[in-house]
Amino acid sequence: MRRSRAILGSGLLAGAALFAARPVAAQQREVHHPVEPDQNGFVVAQPNDLAADEGGRMKVLVGNPSKPGIYTIRITWAPGQGSHPHYHDQGRYITVLKGHWYVSTGPEADVYDPDHMKRVDPGTFIYEPPMGHHYDMAKDEEVVVQITGMGPVKTIPIRPESKGGGQD
């Protein structure tokens, strides 16, 4: 139980970083097409349907994170790709589907320091509370996470000084 809490705590805020590495204006311009429902309204997505959009890393499975209502997205992080300190105004539910994700959460996440991130294993479930400060990344392998939440969700950057060459 203690190990589970440690993993959950270390990854508590991790998944939320999906857009933080890019400017907010760029996030709002992007269009990601959801997987379409069948003739009966069911969404049945095969693995090939769930690849990230060409040139992107996010696939909307259902809903839209920028509009009211529930949404589910799948994010693919390339090795070395990540975010910088930020938070979201809505809670989110995250599952690490593939790879080892690295996260920093809580007050220490206000300063970017990738050498002090905690590893989150595949299969880990994370609840990310609203306003929880964090950043995350894929270090040496591709990582895939799936995130569900209520929209609209906003990403708010945190801009204190950084360590280790991090950017705002």
- Domain-wise residue ranges, the chain: 2-157
Distance of CA 122 to CAs 23, 85, 135, Å?
A: 28, 22, 18
The one-letter code for the residue type at 119 is R
Q: What is the pLDDT of residues 39-76, one digit of tens each?
A: 777 776 666 666 665 445 888 888 989 999 999 999 99
- How much is the pLDDT for 37? 75
Report the percentage of the chain scoring pLDDT > 90.
Answer: 56
Nearest to 59 by CA among 83, 33, 82, 39: 33
Residue 93 has pLDDT above 90, yes or no: yes
Query: Is the pTM for the entire model greater than 0.85?
Result: no
pLDDT confidence band for 85 (50 / 70 / 90): very high
Mean pLDDT of 1-27: 40
Q: Which residue has the tokens 């499975």?
A: 61
CATH architecture, domain defined by 2-157 = Sandwich (2.60)
Residue with tokens 């392998």: 141
With 0-12 / 13-18 / 19 or more C-beta atoms within 10 angstroms meaning exposed / middle / buried, residue 51 is: exposed
pLDDT band at 164; cut points 50, 70, 90: low
pLDDT value of position 158: 93
